[in-house]
C-alpha cells in the first residue's frame, strides 16, 4: 500500500536526517572543544546588542575588539567576561560554557537516527515474528468482532485500521485480539465475503500473537 511505503520511507528519512545531524554536529563540536591553540583571557564588555556583545581584550600588548554572538540578562556593559582566543587568529574568540550548547546538534541527530533505526528494525522483526508464530505457534479461530480506526497513529494524514477478534473459552472468559495496522478498511470485504472468524497464531506462552488476515488479501 502507498501509506505503508510512505511509513517505511519516513523511518528511513528519520534515520538519514539523524545521521547527517550527528556527523555535522560531531565535526563542529570536535572543532569547538579542541582547545590546543586556544588561550584563555579576560575581556571587557564594551557594548551589548540584542543578540551579541562587543568585547575588548589584549593579546601581547595589542588591543582587540570583537563581536561575540552571545547574550544573556546577567551581562552588563563594563563588566569583565572570561573568553578564549585562537592563538593563530586572536580576533577569533569564544566562551567555553557557550560551546556546550552545540552538543544539542549531535544529540538530536543521535535521537533521530535511533528512532528511525528502531522503527525500521521493529518493522522487520514484525514480519519475522509472524513467520515464527506461523511455524511454531498454536492456532486459534477467533470470531470477528469489529474494525476500528487507530486514531493514535497516522501517516500522510491518514489513520490505519485494526481488525478486532475475540475467543470465548468454555468458562465464558473472553480474550480479545487486535490485528496489525491496515491501510485499507477491511469492513466491506469482510461483509461481502461473510467472514465470521480469523485464524490467530499464538505462542506457547499465550502472550505473543498475530491475526492472519490473508483471506481478505489486504496489507
Rounded to 5 degrees, what angle do the CA atoms 73, 75, 80 make?
165
Residue 3 pLDDT level (bands cut at 50, 70, 90): low
pLDDT, position 155: 76
- The mean per-residue pLDDT over the stretch 18-44 comes to 91
Question: Which tops the pLDDT comparison, 32 or 18?
Answer: 18
Residue that is last in its domain, among 90, 105, 120: 105
Tell whether 117 is covered by a domain: no
Q: Each residue of 68-102: pLDDT tens digit? A: 888 777 889 999 999 999 988 998 899 888 888 88
Task: Tell me how far apart the alpha carbons of residues 202 and 218 are, in angstroms, rounded to a whole number.
Answer: 21
- The mean per-residue pLDDT over the stretch 36-62 comes to 92
Residues 70 and 7 in one domain: yes
Q: How many domains does the chain have?
A: 2
Rounded to 5 degrees, what angle do the CA atoms 40, 44, 47 make?
130
Q: Say if residue 219's pLDDT is above 80.
A: no
Residues 86 and 9 in one domain: yes
Domain that holds residue 154: 137-216
CA atoms within 13 A on the CB side of 56: 10
Task: Tell me how far apart the alpha carbons of residues 92 and 66 are, in angstroms, rounded to a whole number.
Answer: 8
Residue 2 pLDDT level (bands cut at 50, 70, 90): low
Question: Which tops the pLDDT comparison, 48 or 170?
Answer: 48
- The mean per-residue pLDDT over the stretch 187-211 comes to 90
C-alpha cell at position 120: 525500521
Residues 7 and 89 in one domain: yes
Tell whether 116 is covered by a domain: no
Q: Say if residue 1's pLDDT is above 60.
A: no
pLDDT, position 54: 94
**Least confident range of 4-13, 88-97, 120-129, 191-200:** 4-13
- The mean per-residue pLDDT over the stretch 3-26 comes to 86
Amino acid at each position: 500500500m502507498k501509506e505503508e511505503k510512505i511509513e517505511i520511507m519516513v523511518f528511513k528519512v528519520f534515520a538519514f536526517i539523524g545521521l547527517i545531524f550527528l556527523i555535522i554536529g560531531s565535526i563542529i563540536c570536535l572543532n569547538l572543544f579542541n582547545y590546543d591553540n586556544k588561550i584563555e583571557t579576560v575581556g571587557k564588555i564594551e557594548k551589548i546588542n540584542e543578540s551579541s556583545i562587543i568585547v575588548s581584550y589584549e593579546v601581547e600588548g595589542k588591543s582587540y575588539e570583537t563581536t561575540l554572538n552571545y547574550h544573556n540578562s546577567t551581562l552588563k556593559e563594563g563588566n569583565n567576561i572570561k573568553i578564549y582566543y585562537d592563538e593563530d587568529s586572536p580576533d577569533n574568540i569564544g566562551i567555553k560554557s557557550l560551546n556546550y550548547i552545540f552538543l544539542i546538534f549531535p544529540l538530536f541527530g543521535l535521537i533521530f537516527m535511533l528512532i528511525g533505526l528502531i522503527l525500521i528494525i521493529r518493522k522487520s522483526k514484525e514480519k519475522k515474528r509472524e513467520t515464527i508464530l506461523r511455524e511454531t505457534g498454536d492456532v486459534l479461530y477467533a470470531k470477528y468482532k469489529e474494525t476500528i480506526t487507530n486514531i493514535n497513529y497516522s501517516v500522510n494524514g491518514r489513520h490505519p485500521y485494526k481488525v478486532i477478534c475475540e475467543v470465548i473459552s468454555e468458562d465464558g472468559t473472553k480474550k480479545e485480539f487486535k490485528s496489525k495496522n491496515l491501510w485499507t478498511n477491511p469492513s466491506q470485504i469482510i461483509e461481502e465475503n461473510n467472514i465470521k472468524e480469523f485464524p490467530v497464531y499464538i505462542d506457547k506462552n499465550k502472550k505473543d500473537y498475530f491475526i492472519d488476515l490473508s483471506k481478505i488479501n489486504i496489507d
